[in-house]
């Protein structure tokens, strides 16, 4: 789970990167939005993951992370986040990658549930289809001698599927789970600690959960779980007093999907069933094969969606308040570096958008309400198209602008003291 606090005062310098916004903290790294600067003055927006000191000091972890990051850096595809730098600065090991302006699928589903905005089925299938394209490319990638690199993601969960405001779908963190598991195995003797891998256990193939050797078909099983959850509107595995998530993953009991009355539903369920075969030999042999079947179903069911429409839906329902505020902080950072006075601009309030009116259609599935009980994972909302959100009062904009102005000034003063 990401943390809301950073160990740094922002904005701050980190090697050739200017860190200006804290994204979150997970079990492996602190994540920042940054601007990379070249010697010629060119710059690019990016994400910097600073590996936690306790992990970076683990020699085996550092070696494995470097190895996996180098493999990930060889991936160049529209559906894969590009890793372009790996190094060490201020005694901190880091990875730098392209910034995708939007949400990861996990965050998107949380926002959908909180604001009662169902995710249309055609967009859910588009997201899974695009993810499969990225997976297929990575699985097929060859080295310079024409031999398979053997890349397996190992953590194909919603938090590693990114959806941008342009409707792009990109996969991130290829291979990093392998380095993390190495440390967990060293500390626990084997992969037994449910607490240490709680973010992954819910999307593990049974052979992965048992600690056996895995291949690309483990990723197929994981993306099959993602698709199952999107169709069911809830998590596949739930926290239970008797069975840990890891034990549930080992047993891989897959409940039958509820029937929603969508077109050619049996065909869609058959795709999910094949992806979730307990025996790897019964699964799709490749992500490309699964993508072909999914595309064929989408065409016959007439559920075709485009990235452009997905992006428009995201903006209409969740707005761009987050982007507006981050860009304001980036401009403040640029002004500080140039020694120019900082011009503060009005920012919209950082509050949830009102729930839009929902119009049900035959091509939609009725999503369940979010379950926030402490012992069960939240259910995942899906469905119909929605109208644009209602307009907000201009008073909110003014109040938020004043608050944002104070925060930016405090950050700039802190930066000068550093």
Residues designated as active site = 155
Three-state secondary structure call for residue 417:
helix
Contact status, residue 278 vs residue 139, Cβ threshold 8 Å: no
Structure tokens, 277: 């075969």
Q: Minimal CA–CA distance to 401: which of 346, 332, 351? A: 346
| Local structure of residue 156 (DSSP, 8 states) | -
Backbone angles phi, psi at 13, to 5 degrees: -90, 140
Contact status, residue 122 vs residue 310, Cβ threshold 8 Å: no
* Entry field: residues in the chain: 418
Torsion of CA 407, 408, 410, 416, to 10 degrees: 160
The residue written with tokens 């529209």 in the block is: 78
Q: Give the integer Cα–Cα distance in Å for 315 and 331.
A: 22
* 338 DSSP β-pair partners: none
384: region left, alpha or beta (phi > 0 left; psi from -120 to 50 alpha) = beta
Q: Minimal CA–CA distance to 293: which of 268, 324, 330? A: 268
Angle at which helices 321-338 and 394-417 pack, to 10 degrees? Answer: 40
The residue written with tokens 């290829």 in the block is: 174
Torsion of CA 112, 113, 117, 120, to 10 degrees: 70
End-to-end CA distance of the chain: 29
Q: Minimal CA–CA distance to 56: which of 69, 71, 37? A: 69
């Amino acid at each position: 789970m990401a943390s809301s606090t950073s160990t740094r005062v922002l904005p701050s310098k980190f090697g050739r990167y200017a860190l200006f916004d804290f994204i979150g903290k997970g079990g492996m790294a602190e994540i920042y939005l940054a601007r990379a600067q070249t010697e010629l003055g060119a710059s690019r927006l990016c994400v910097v993951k600073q590996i936690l000191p306790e992990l970076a000091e683990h020699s085996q972890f550092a070696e494995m992370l470097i190895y996996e990051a180098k493999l990930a850096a060889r991936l160049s595809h529209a559906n894969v986040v590009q890793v372009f730098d790996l190094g060490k600065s201020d005694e901190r090991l880091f990875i730098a990658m392209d910034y995708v302006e939007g949400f990861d699928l996990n965050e998107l589903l949380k926002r959908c549930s909180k604001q009662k905005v169902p995710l249309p089925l055609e967009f859910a299938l588009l997201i899974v289809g695009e993810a499969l394209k990225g997976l297929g490319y990575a699985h097929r990638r060859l080295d310079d001698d024409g031999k398979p690199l053997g890349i397996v993601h190992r953590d194909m969960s919603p938090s590693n599927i990114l959806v941008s405001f342009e409707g792009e779908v990109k996969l991130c963190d290829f291979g990093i789970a392998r380095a993390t598991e190495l440390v967990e195995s060293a500390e626990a003797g084997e992969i037994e600690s449910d607490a240490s891998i709680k973010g992954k256990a819910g999307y593990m193939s049974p052979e992965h959960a048992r600690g056996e050797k895995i291949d690309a078909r483990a990723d197929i099983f994981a993306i099959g779980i993602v698709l199952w959850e999107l169709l069911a509107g809830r998590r596949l595995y739930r926290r239970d007093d008797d069975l840990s998530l890891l034990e549930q993953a080992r047993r891989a009991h897959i409940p039958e999907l509820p029937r929603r009355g969508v077109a050619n539903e049996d065909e869609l369920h058959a795709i999910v069933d094949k992806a979730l075969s307990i025996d790897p030999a019964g699964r799709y042999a490749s992500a490309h094969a699964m993508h072909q079947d999914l595309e064929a179903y989408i065409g016959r069911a007439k559920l075709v969606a485009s990235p452009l429409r997905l992006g428009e839906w995201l903006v209409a329902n969740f707005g761009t308040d987050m982007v507006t505020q981050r860009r304001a902080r980036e401009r403040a950072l640029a002004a500080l570096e140039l020694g120019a006075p900082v011009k503060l601009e009005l920012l919209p309030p950082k509050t949830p958008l009102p729930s839009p009116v929902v119009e049900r259609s035959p091509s939609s599935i009725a999503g369940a309400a979010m379950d926030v009980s402490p012992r069960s994972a939240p259910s995942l909302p899906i469905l119909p198209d929605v109208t644009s959100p209602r307009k907000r009062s201009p008073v909110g904009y003014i109040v938020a602008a004043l608050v944002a102005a104070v925060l930016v000034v405090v950050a700039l003063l802190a930066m000068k003291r550093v």
